[in-house]
Structure 1
Amino acid sequence: MTCKFYLLKGKGKNAENGHLWIYSTEIAEFEGEYENGDIVEIYNYREEFIGKGYINDASKITLRIMTRDINEEIDEEFFRKRLRAAWEYRKTVTDTSSCRFLFGEADFVPGLIIDKFEDYFVIQSLALGIDKYKDIVVKLLVEEYGAKGVYERSDAKVRILEGMEQVKGFLTEPFDTMVQITENGVKYYVDIENGQKTGFFLDQKDNRASIHKLCNGKDVLDCFTHTGSFALNAGVAGAKSVLGVDISQHAVDFCRRNAELNGLQDTVKFECHNAFDVLREWSDEGRKYDVVILDPPAFTKSRETIKSATRGYKEINLRGMKLVKKGGYFITCSCSHFMNPDLFRETIASAAKDAKVTLRQVEFRTQAPDHPILWNSDESYYLKFYIFQVA
């Protein structure tokens, strides 16, 4: 018999309205027996069916809904349909040579990320309930989507909060994990074994393309360059000079390899610096650039650290603005869900006031469409991207 969970009166409204998470504090009781990772049925306090999903009582997010159909089984056919729907959507909205193939909750498979890099796929399982189905997912990727290899990058820290170990490794026969991709006319080496997250940040694909029109013939500074993606897009777009900065010497060395791959090593240079320190130093020296790009890591991954993160965002934006020539362009973004759009806008405005510059907004963008934003799940909306002219 399937175990049934019942929610407290006044709780579960978000789940009834489309959200896929139910917290431990929303649960009143359950009937039957379960093991963590099992599929259970979920009902509100009036005993009305809400959905079926997997259970993990070691996590604050105790239940994650997989289907609203009480008769739908969570089996190979379920994953076949979900993957097919995700793939058909991506073929409609983006270049699929390399893309996020499946985006967890936003593709109605909570806890599962799949990134596609040419013919190689990277899986990230962020919840116990998904771990049980990895073999099915790998089988489908190989048989129906021509995967030459599948690698697991379930080494995210969030797994510890789920009571799970961080794991990584091959899910098919081993292959060379240094994969070459092309995006927006730029070639990259992607290290899917040791790179951050799944090896490459695909969510900025269209935002990288949007800077091309600004960079032709310009002097460009790209801070927190990581794999050099914005810097290389500026170079491909015809920039006069590009300097990419990152705190990691390993990242800088990797960026230089990517520059050579594109024949841009004479135009696009990379240096190892702490951006917070060096931007202040260069500002005091009076350095100026036509285009300054800030793409920092998430300064906050929890509500508790919002205040310190806001100070960090303000500081780095203020320093970046001061390095832009009058009439030049300032590009800034935040990839933290907790730095909400209003707060990010206020932080940029405060930085501009202190920098004594006037910003003229050119564009506001979010993440690429292969990272869809599910309105019932605001966690899926995290990337904010601005282009300003500095007056």
Structure 2
Amino acid sequence: MLLIEADGKALFAEHGIPVPVGIVVTDVVTTLPGDGPWMVKAQVPVGGRGKAGGIVRCGSRAEVEAAVGSMLGSRLKGHAVDACLVEAAAAGQERYISVMVDAASYGLRVIYSADGGVEIEGAGSAEARLCPPHPGAVAEALEDLLAAEPAAWRDRVAAIGKAMATLLIEKELALVEINPLFVSEAGCVAGDAKVVVDLNAVERQPVIAAMIAARPSVYMDAGRKIAEGFDYVELDPEGEIGLVTTGAGLSMMLIDELTARGAKPLNFCDIRTGQMRGSPARLIRVLEWITSRPSLKAVLVNIFAGITDLSEFAGLLAAAIQASPGLKVPVVARLVGRNAAEAKRILGEAQPGMLVTEDLAEALVRIDAIVGAAS
């Protein structure tokens, strides 16, 4: 889960990583940090805000007020903008630095580039080093990566990297990234903060849990995970195909398959079959989340059951559909497992016209047809 910049920078400040002075605005601008110029930044948990118009440099109070006014209440890359970060503009040469978990090496991957900024993806100067999961090891790796930088900068940037590694390890994060890191004779300042949280560790991280609780509209997926005990992640707020699926691997496979066909899946969903017994409540909530998006054109149910009796699931799914008045699009169900034939009979009686099949290819063809007809 990606934190918004303001929360990421709060963690930075807690760990001694310099950040510009700033305030979070949710209504009118009352005070301004410093004497200007200022940066106004939409607070949504998504990358690429600058290119999408979500970051504006302002030279006067009037410009700040205009930028805040235009962003609040708008949508940026599918996300509602409920808050803006207004901060003093930083200055200096732009660099890129990140520390992330590298599961394959049981360690950390440190990346540094002398070409920070919005075009970092196309920069050819980025270099990476693998090191043990220890802040000191990250600092040592950076000594090598910083060899071409001015000597006066090296210790400062290495200290930033060490603090980033400390933050990542202590808070059990997946990624800590600064782009750009402004470097000058005066020191280093984090111009942005990209912090990716491991939701499986949140119960051990009260500071991050408090951030999630404080912004339920921003961190909806995390709130759902904590409350429901399963993963529902909105991949594309403008997605067209809602997914009710089981198994993380199967869910990701289905998303890859849909994307390869040019489709736009709305969400990842790993609702365990053991959590879909006895009551349709969880299925009803998942359908509510899915149908809240006006871009929705179809719902694809993909259940690969083990010990679960699919006839019971079919009854729950039929009840959930009946109890979901917001569901106005066709549902296609691919069901594989015990009592699949009985499940098909139950859903056929409850939802005439619904395709229920064990063949994924057949289900995908029907989804293609539904989406194509609705386009």
TM-score by length of 2: 0.25
Higher share in helix? 2
Which of structures 1 and 2 has the bigger CA Rg?
A: 2
Higher strand share: 1
